[in-house]
Amino acid sequence: MSATLLLGPGPSNCPASVLDALSKDLVGHLDPRFINTMEACKEKLRKILHTKNAVTFPISGTGSAGMEAVLVNILEPGDTIVVGVNGVFGMRIANLAERYGATAIRVEEDWGKPMPYAALEAAVTEHKPKILAVVSGETSTGVYQNMDGLGDLAHNNGALLLADCVTSLAGMPVLLDEWGVDLMYSGTQKCLNCPPGLSPVSFSQRALDVFQNRKSLVPSFYLDLGEILKYIGDGLAKRAYHHTAPVSMVTALDAALDIVLEEGLEARWARHKDAQNYLFEKLAPLNIHPFVEEADRLWPLSTVTIPDGVDEAAVRTALLNDDNIELGGGLGPLAGKVWRIGLMGVNADRAVIDRFVDCLSAKL
């Protein structure tokens, strides 16, 4: 049976070389060969994130664990965070912060629009938070956040800048150092075309300084950055056992990163942009239109309006059952109102889009 075509918000399809790496015979998690693979992943992640951050590595959990990792290591009870909330993941960042005893200032925007700079500026200058958090690629709405000026805004007000790059990474520009991002998390199951299970994270030196000056214990052992760095921070130097790294997943990630770097980031970004444009061109005759303004679109994940009178859930079920194609539904206030179409990594391809649109149009 042929593979399911995964055109939802993730997981995406994995190339054969990634699945081959995943199923290689295991080596131990303290074996120098595994440590070298982990070191290679760290270096390749720095390249695709455009960062010099030494502390850049995959967390042993999915993207949500990465979100938790960057927040739980920085926030302490009584701290304040300003969060741009224009979708599920901004909401979630605020929710997590409150679980650690921090105050979350939610700057709200309509779902489907990016956060306006002025609203973030007003909140940051008023509240002087420890973190300013935005979602670079909002997986729930298909919006890509313009990061211009946010690094300076945060740093000039004593804050760290956090960016959720789960769906943007390796599908459109993610420029950590240029943007001034101090805290970043992503996922492997989107544009990296690796199975879900790891979350690349990155901490700037500024973020590490804040971490070092914590007054309270990190309320997690699994995600405690200090413990993790004793385990995987120093390459082949003496390592203290922390947990058993998911060696197969890290080996697969290493193979997936090779594919990204071989293509080159600029070419990969352009391919994702072209695929989205082509998708919209093909969908227009079906009266299916982009939900997000052109300048704000997240190339790897397109949200589209559903034509009147269409039972959107029935269409998704029929596509899966008849054609083995997965499509994503809307979340929260967008449930029933949009489809989410992921064209991520290998699936950012005109032939894939042709096949998908043919099948979709037969259902309408």
Choice between 51 and 141, CB closer to its own copies: 141
CB of 131 to its own copies, least distance (A): 16
Choice between 34 and 117, CB closer to its own copies: 34
CB of 325 to its own copies, least distance (A): 10
Choice between 20 and 354, CB closer to its own copies: 20
Count the helices and strands in the chain (H runs, E runs): 13, 13
Three-state secondary structure call for residue 143: strand
| Backbone φ, ψ for residue 354 (5° rounding) | -55, -45
CB of 224 to its own copies, least distance (A): 8
Choice between 27 and 261, CB closer to its own copies: 27
The 3-state DSSP composition of the chain as helix, strand, coil percent (nearest 5) reads 45, 15, 40
Choice between 94 and 134, CB closer to its own copies: 94
CB of 316 to its own copies, least distance (A): 10
Give me the residues that bind its own copies (CB under 8 A), please. Answer: 3-4, 6, 8, 10-11, 13-14, 19-20, 22-31, 60-65, 67-68, 72, 88, 92, 95-96, 98-101, 187, 189, 195-197, 217-222, 241-249, 320, 326, 331
Helix axes 350-363, 265-283, angle to 10 degrees: 20
CB of 152 to its own copies, least distance (A): 30
Choice between 150 and 259, CB closer to its own copies: 259
Q: Which long-range contacts (CB under 8 A, 24 or more apart) does 257-261 make?
A: 257/41, 257/44, 257/45, 257/48, 257/192, 258/17, 258/44, 259/15, 259/17, 259/18, 259/193, 259/345, 260/44, 260/48, 260/170, 260/191, 260/192, 260/345, 261/44, 261/47, 261/48
Identify the DSSP state of 170. T
CB of 100 to its own copies, least distance (A): 6
Ramachandran area for residue 144 (φ above 0: left; ψ -120 to 50: alpha; else beta): beta
